[in-house]
Amino acid sequence: MASILAPTTFALACLFAAGSATAACPPQGRTRADLLALRDAGFVVATKPDAKTASGLAASSPRAGIGTDAKEDVKPVDAAPKPLDALALGLVDCLANPDPVLRDEVAYGALNHWILGEQLDKATREQLATQLVERLESNAADSGGFRKPFAALVLADLVAADNTKRYLSDTQLRGIADAATAYMASIRDYRGFDAAAGWRHGVAHAADLLGQLAANRRVDDERLGRMLVAISAQAAPESGHFYLYGEPQRLAVPVFYIAQRGLLQASEWSDWFADIADVPEDGSMFTSQAVLARRHNLQGLLFALYVNANESKDEALRASLLEPVTGALRALQ
């Protein structure tokens, strides 16, 4: 993900007005200044419980039978979540905030740091995954276009953490894979970067998530096949959109990992590339804006695959992928 350009004061005011009624960000009890301070402190959160909360629990929750003569059967009080875990869950709404600083620099920056740094409890990571999958599957209006792309981006980190050290159940992982695949296929908002609003980048973020899933050996071949179908729908959008922000290179990552898994043989890859290229009968790729966009987008994907396959020491992958990619590039000349 690229860095964020600071928006103007006027633009920020407009963005806040557009999003303030729909997002609980900053989280309750926090201010924007608090979140910026958190960012500037490297996302370090104090682990000492809040004194007021601790004293409140002590006063309202006596424990019977421990150093007293009390005989009441008092239920134990559930431990409050750690401050860091509570804040992580509280930042989820900021992932859809129209302010790019709160959304990208603070919310995503913090969650990325804590998830990959193994600082969140397993229950918190699972709860984050559940909430973010619900966002990917939701049909709620999102004119800003931030909610699903940033849900996908954080889910990519959650799956990456599972790839390093398993914590998701097979059911949870399958649910993420199904939601991610459906989201990739459904994307019609191709906005990338905007100087005032920052990043959306839905195709790239969905590709990041599919890449992490494709690298996970617990994702089955049937789901890998559905991922390829979804990627083929976005490799060269029917709308004639020209990718400008590295989307083809990001799409190449899950394709490469799927090839590493040995899902398709060389002849099957040739068929797949021929299907997504859809070269006109006269062989010309210079006859219209739509055809030029297809050529531009596919070349980006294919060149990325060619470089990675050519440099790979995996002979099985080279045998299955390199010749089909080379042939597809020739067809687009």
In a domain, 261, yes or no: yes
Q: Are residues 106 and 211 in the same domain?
A: yes
In the predicted model, is pLDDT for residue 80 greater than 90?
no
- pLDDT bin (cut points 50, 70, 90) of residue 122 is very high
Q: Does 312 fall in a domain?
A: yes
- Has residue 131 been placed in a domain? yes
Q: Strands, DSSP E only, in 161-289? A: 193-194, 198-199
- Residue found under tokens 């913090």: 110
pLDDT of residue 81: 65
Residues 156 and 275 in one domain: no
Q: Residue 61 above 50 pLDDT?
A: no
Are 258 and 307 in the same domain?
yes
Specify whether the CB–CB gap between 206 and 156 falls below 8 A. Answer: no
Judgement on whether residues 143 and 292 belong to the same structural domain of the protein: no
* Cα–Cα distance for residue pair 138/140, rounded to 1 Å: 5
Of the candidates 203, 219, 235, which is a domain's last residue?
219
Give residues with Cβ within 8 angstroms of 116, minimum separation 6: 157, 160, 161
Residues 102 and 166 in one domain: yes
Burial class, 32, CB count within 10 angstroms (exposed 0-12 / middle 13-18 / buried 19+)? middle
273 vs 104: CA distance, rounded Å: 34
Percent of the chain with pLDDT over 90: 74
Rounded to whole angstroms, the Cα distance separating 52 from 259 reads 55
Q: Using one digit for the tens of pLDDT, what is the confidence trace for 149-188?
A: 999 999 999 999 999 999 999 999 999 999 999 999 999 9
Boundary residue ending a domain (202, 219, 236): 219
Instruction: Name the domain boundary from 199, 219, 239.
Output: 219
Which residue type sits at 181?
A: T
Token duo for residue 6: 């600071």
Of the candidates 133, 122, 114, the residue with the CA atom closest to the CA atom of residue 39? 114
Verify that 1 and 93 share a domain, yes or no: yes
Q: Which domain holds residue 24?
A: 1-56+81-219
Kindly state whether residue 232 falls inside one of the protein's structural domains.
no
In a domain, 233, yes or no: no
Residues of the chain above pLDDT 70, percent: 81
Is residue 118 within 8 A of residue 165, CB to CB? The reply is yes
In terms of Cβ atoms closer than 10 Å to its own Cβ (0-12, 13-18, 19+), residue 10 is: exposed
The average confidence (pLDDT) of the chain is: 86
Number of domains in the chain: 2
Contact status, residue 226 vs residue 180, Cβ threshold 8 Å = no
Q: Is 197 exposed, middle or buried (0-12, 13-18, 19+ CB in 10 A)?
A: buried
Tell me if 61 is assigned to some domain: no
Same-domain pairing of 9 and 133 = yes
Domain presence at residue 231: no
- Whether 240 is covered by a domain: the verdict is no
Same domain, 192 and 265: no
SS3 percent helix, strand, coil of the chain, rounded to 5, is 60, 0, 35
pLDDT at 45: 87
- Looking at residue 47, its pLDDT comes to 65
In this structure, the dihedral spanned by the alpha carbons of residues 85, 86, 87 and 90, taken in order and rounded to 10 degrees, is 120
Angstrom distance (rounded) from CA 93 to CA 121: 19
pTM: 0.83
Other beta carbons within 10 angstroms of residue 178's beta carbon come to 15
